Amino acid sequence: MNPHLVSVFPCETYAPETCEKALIAVLEPLGGLDWVRPGMRVGIKANLVAGAKPEKAVTTHPALLAALTRLLIARDASVVIGDSPGNLYNASVLNRVYALSGLSEAEEAGAELNRDFSEKEAFFADAVQAKQFTYTGWLDGCDAIVNFCKLKSHGMMSLSCAAKNLFGTIPGTMKPEYHYRFPNPNEFADMIVDLDEYFKPVLHICDAVLAMEGNGPTQGKPKHVGALLASQDPHRLDVLAATLIGLDPAEVPTLAAAARRNLAPTSVDGIEIAGDWKQFVQTDFELIENRNSLLFVGGDNIFGKTVRGAMNLCLVSRPKVKKSACIGCGRCRDVCPAHTIAIKNKKAVINRRNCIKCFCCQEFCPVGAMRVHRSPVAKILTHGKERSK
């Protein structure tokens, strides 16, 4: 069995029978679930970034989680499903997220929903950035981890899929701290890859039945793709996922970080794929374009550094408040790691001088009033770049 193989298979709807058949089919080229031993406790790391109804395409769909649960229990394994959303990591918050996300369906299939809210410290000598970090303790009680992600656009990382889903191992209220520790997109991406390398899930599955386009990862629009993706390799899965939605994998920070470590190619041409993936390519998927590749490197002398700084200020994406949509709830202010947002006259106001452009405000705004704003210069350069392809 090829550990780098990526499998893709149609899954048109979330009907229980359709989900189960599609899961069996997409896992078959990877050896199915033959790695499961009787008595094993399998932790499913879902994407539960925020409590939302399944049809919103914010979270891993409960029908798929229930289907995987049934398949695992049929092999005499026990199943626990967990995640740490970007909020307080406690029973009251998680119970609400579980309820809104429809996870009673997975419970009825035999899964346990995680209610161990302990935190543990990790020391990872081989890490590039996250040599020491805090993680959710429930994972220590699992014999194996399955990373069941959702295909979505993302404000900071452009793509939320397999690699990015492991950021959910960081306790909720600590997430802004990690954004502050790693404000540079490349450093943040390296931290994400560190988490992937540390936890090493035995399997990665992507829910791309309904993906999320536009203002992702929580306030975008559902987009039907009709597929499941699976692999033992999160980065190769993400290369395919990015290609399906029209993203250049080389411009996804987590994939660029993985390529720097020789963990994955930067093109779908370098991946072995089982299944007719081209039928799922989306020609009109609405992306969040940060275009990190447009940033100027420049020289190391005073002139070069000055030009580089000025041009990058013109090119970098930043969060922007859509005043007509803002309800003044203060969620962006509370989640901002740089404490650079205030509520004035019942509207959010960003202090640009202190903004670290982590897009936490955009990710957790409950009404989608925070948007990723690209400068006119970046749009002109991007347009020229697209025309040259």
> What are the CA-CA distances from residue 259 to residues 160, 209, 239 (Å)?
17, 27, 11
**Cα–Cα distance between 4 and 47 in angstroms, integer?**
23
Q: What is the pLDDT of residues 86-107, one digit of tens each?
A: 788 999 999 999 999 999 999 9
**Cα–Cα distance between 237 and 272 in angstroms, integer?**
10
Co-location of 220 and 312 in the same domain: no
Mark which of 280, 304, 319 sits at the end of a domain: 280
Query: 207 near 149, Cβ under 8 Å?
Result: yes
Is residue 287, in this structure, part of any structural domain at all? no
Co-location of 333 and 269 in the same domain: no
Co-location of 336 and 378 in the same domain: yes
* Res. 316 pLDDT band, cuts 50 70 90: low
Is residue 341, in this structure, part of any structural domain at all? yes
Per-residue model confidence (pLDDT) at position 18: 98
Mark which of 258, 280, 302 sits at the end of a domain: 280
Bridge pairing between strands 158-160 and 78-82 = unpaired
Co-location of 164 and 186 in the same domain: yes
Per-residue model confidence (pLDDT) at position 363: 80
Co-location of 26 and 102 in the same domain: yes
Is residue 11, in this structure, part of any structural domain at all? yes
**Cα–Cα distance between 41 and 352 in angstroms, integer?**
47
| Arithmetic mean of pLDDT, 53-67 | 97
Is residue 140, in this structure, part of any structural domain at all? yes
> What CATH code is carried by the domain that includes residue 157?
3.40.50.11440
Strand stretches in the chain, DSSP E: 6-10, 41-46, 78-82, 112-113, 119-123, 132-136, 144-154, 158-160, 203-213, 221-231, 273-274, 318-321, 341-344, 347-350, 370-373
- pLDDT: which is higher, 385 or 73: 73
Is residue 86, in this structure, part of any structural domain at all? yes
Bridge pairing between strands 6-10 and 78-82 = unpaired
Number of domains in the chain: 2
Q: What is the pLDDT of residues 142-171, one digit of tens each?
A: 999 999 999 999 888 889 999 999 999 999
> What are the CA-CA distances from residue 378 to residues 134, 208, 290, 317 (Å)?
36, 30, 9, 8
DSSP 137-196: GGGGG-SEEEEEEEEEEETTTEEESHHHHGGGGS-GGGHHHHHHH--SHHHHHHHHHHHH
Co-location of 322 and 255 in the same domain: no
Co-location of 300 and 355 in the same domain: yes
Co-location of 363 and 260 in the same domain: no
Residue 385 has pLDDT above 50, yes or no: no
Number of Cβ atoms within 10 Å of the Cβ of 52 = 18
Q: What is the mean pLDDT of the chain?
A: 88
Q: Is 120 exposed, middle or buried (0-12, 13-18, 19+ CB in 10 A)?
A: middle
Is residue 285, in this structure, part of any structural domain at all? no
Co-location of 253 and 343 in the same domain: no
**Cα–Cα distance between 95 and 87 in angstroms, integer?**
12
Per-residue model confidence (pLDDT) at position 86: 79
Q: Which domain holds residue 12?
A: 6-280
* Res. 299 pLDDT band, cuts 50 70 90: very low
Angle at 172 between CA 166 and CA 176, to 5 degrees: 90
Co-location of 260 and 346 in the same domain: no
Co-location of 159 and 230 in the same domain: yes
Query: Dihedral sign, CA of 93, 94, 97, 102?
Result: negative
Per-residue model confidence (pLDDT) at position 289: 63
Co-location of 197 and 321 in the same domain: no
Is residue 35, in this structure, part of any structural domain at all? yes
Is residue 1, in this structure, part of any structural domain at all? no
